[in-house]
Amino acid sequence: MTISLSEAARLTGIGKTELLDAIQQGKLPGFKDEITEKYRVKKADLLEMYPSVETSHVSKPSRDILKERIRNLENTLTTIASEHDRVWKKLESESEERRRLSNILAEIKRAELTLTQSPKTPWPLFVIALSTLIGAVVAIGHLIKAF
């Protein structure tokens, strides 16, 4: 008696894709139905390779495969979490740098405004503006170096 891959998957608890891979790799005898163009397997061949979920517990090889898959997924999750943390820290750092540079630019604008408004004492204001400008240039240099 032959059964469809959907029925084989339900019977064994193995995914249809995995069963199809086993057929295509020659591990599980099966064939493509010429009328429906869907793969079918003999139930006896299937149950010889994959015990039925209904009649037995998960076989030891299946447990090993599942344990390996879980380990791989845990490793992938750890990698994703690590990358998430790295990107988040970089985002926070860049956000802080933007705030700092915005403050410097605001100081420069205030200094420029002060210079244009009080021409009586240009020298102290010039020193303030110059020191603010130098601070901005140094900050921009650090930002460029960071990238």
- Final residue before a domain boundary, out of 57, 73, 103: 57
3-state SS track over the chain = CEEEHHHHHHHHCCCHHHHHHHHHCCCCCCEECCCCCCEEEEHHHHHHHCCCCCCCCCCHHHHHHHHHHHHHHHHHHHHHHHHHHHHHHHHHHHHHHHHHHHHHHHHHHHHHHHHHHCCCCHHHHHHHHHHHHHHHHHHHHHHHHHC
Q: Does 81 map to a domain?
A: no
Q: Within this chain, do residues 53 and 100 fall inside the same structural domain, yes or no?
A: no
Cα–Cα distance measured from residue 82 to residue 88, given in angstroms and rounded to the nearest whole number: 10
- pLDDT at position 135: 82
Domain that holds residue 97: 92-146
Report residue 72 CA to chain centroid gap. 15
Residue with tokens 């390996």: 68
Residue 6 falls inside a structural domain: yes
Residues 97 and 142 in one domain: yes
Q: Is residue 83 part of a domain?
A: no
Q: What sign has the CA pseudo-torsion 12, 13, 16, 21? A: negative
Token reading at 1: 């008696």
pLDDT at 69: 86
Dihedral sign for Cα atoms in the order 76, 78, 81, 85: negative
Q: What is the rounded (10 degree) CA torsion for 10, 14, 19, 20?
A: 80
17 found inside a domain: yes
Establish if 18 belongs to a structural domain: yes
Domain end residue (candidates: 57, 72, 104): 57
Number of domains within the chain: 2
66, part of any domain: no
Tell me if 86 is assigned to some domain.
Answer: no
Polymer length in residues for the chain: 147
* Residue 145 token pair: 């170096």
- Per-run averaged pLDDT (10 residues), the chain, 147 residues: 90 89 91 89 88 59 80 93 94 92 88 67 69 83 73
